[in-house]
Each structure stands twice: as structure tokens, then as C-alpha cells.
Amino acid sequence: MHTTIRAAAAAALALAGLLMAGCAQQGQAQAAASDSAAAPAQTPVQRGQYLVAIMGCSDCHTPGGLGPKPDTARFLGGSDVDFVMPGMGVFSPPNLTPDKATGLGGWTTQQIVTAFTTGKRPDGRILAPAMPWSDFARLTPEDAAAIALYLQSLPAVVHKVPGPAADRPCVPKALQCLVQRE
């Protein structure tokens, strides 16, 4: 009698184990299916749009981006604020749209990637320290290319911002200050 009870108990445990394993596999399959449904495949341009948004590019590169009313009609069209860096000069965040005269329209995808991941423009000029290119150097090559492709997909905005300029007064002992251009 004890042998029958032990055999029945062993069979019940084995059945319970199989049921639990089956439920776990089904749960994993459902989780995988819901993950793929929750995260549809992105094109590189869509990925670039996402990255530009979370990296805050528009804060500095859109007129009004550092204030309460960004000019969305000139999204990433270059800032209306100057970064004054005592001892270094005055720098204005440039137009990142594909306008050929005032933006990145004459740059290749690789030149754009090189600029924001190494700090060096195609003309050899080094980007101002306010541009966090050293952080962006950690992007994967795929993400960096996606950002460049997204920038190239934007509507061109004609907006010339001043290039680097000589130093001008700032708050005494300031490392950096922002000045609204008039």
C-alpha cells in the first residue's frame, strides 16, 4: 500500500513539475510576443528622432529652446542664444537642418557623425566645449548614423547663426553664461 501511495505521489509531483514547466514556457512565449508587439521595429530615421529627443538637442539648437517658448517652426534651425565662455570666446549652437547655405546640407552622413562624436567639423574646426560631443562619442555606430540620417530628413530651415566670436564680458568669474541675441 505504501508503495502505491509513494508511486502516486511521485507521479503527482512529476505531473506538477511538467505543468509548471509548461506554464513557464508559455509565459515566456507570451512575454516575448508582448515585447515585440510593444516595441515595433524602428527605421534608422525613427531611431534618430527618438535619440535626438532624449538627448535634448533641441534645447540648444532650436530658437527659444532654452526658454519657455521654443520656435517649433525652426526646429533644430540654430539657437538664438550665445554661449559666452570667458577666455575662449562666444559660441552659438548652429543650424542642424539640411539647409545647404546655413545648415548641414553640404555635409555627408559620415561628416555629421564625425562632428558630434569626435568634436571635429569637416573644415577642421573643433566644436565648442558646450557641445557634449565627448558624451556622444559613446554612441554605437548605428545610433550615431541614425541621428545623422534623422537630421538629414528634417525640413531645411534657413537660419544663419553667427560663428565663433571674440570673448565678451560675462558675469565675473563665470565659467560660462548664456546671452540672448537681439
- Domain count of the chain? 2
The three cell numbers locating residue 151:
537630421
Within this chain, do residues 71 and 112 fall inside the same structural domain, yes or no? yes
Q: How far is CA 7 from CA 15, 21, 55, 132, in A?
A: 12, 21, 63, 69
- Return d(Cα 21, Cα 18) in angstroms, integer: 5
Kindly state the percentage of the chain with pLDDT values over 90: 58
Within this chain, do residues 69 and 85 fall inside the same structural domain, yes or no? yes
Within this chain, do residues 77 and 90 fall inside the same structural domain, yes or no? yes
Within this chain, do residues 148 and 117 fall inside the same structural domain, yes or no? yes
- At 39 the pLDDT is 61
- Return d(Cα 136, Cα 54) in angstroms, integer: 12
Within this chain, do residues 104 and 147 fall inside the same structural domain, yes or no? yes
Within this chain, do residues 84 and 167 fall inside the same structural domain, yes or no? yes
pLDDT tens figures, 77-120: 999 988 888 888 889 999 999 999 999 999 999 999 999 999 99
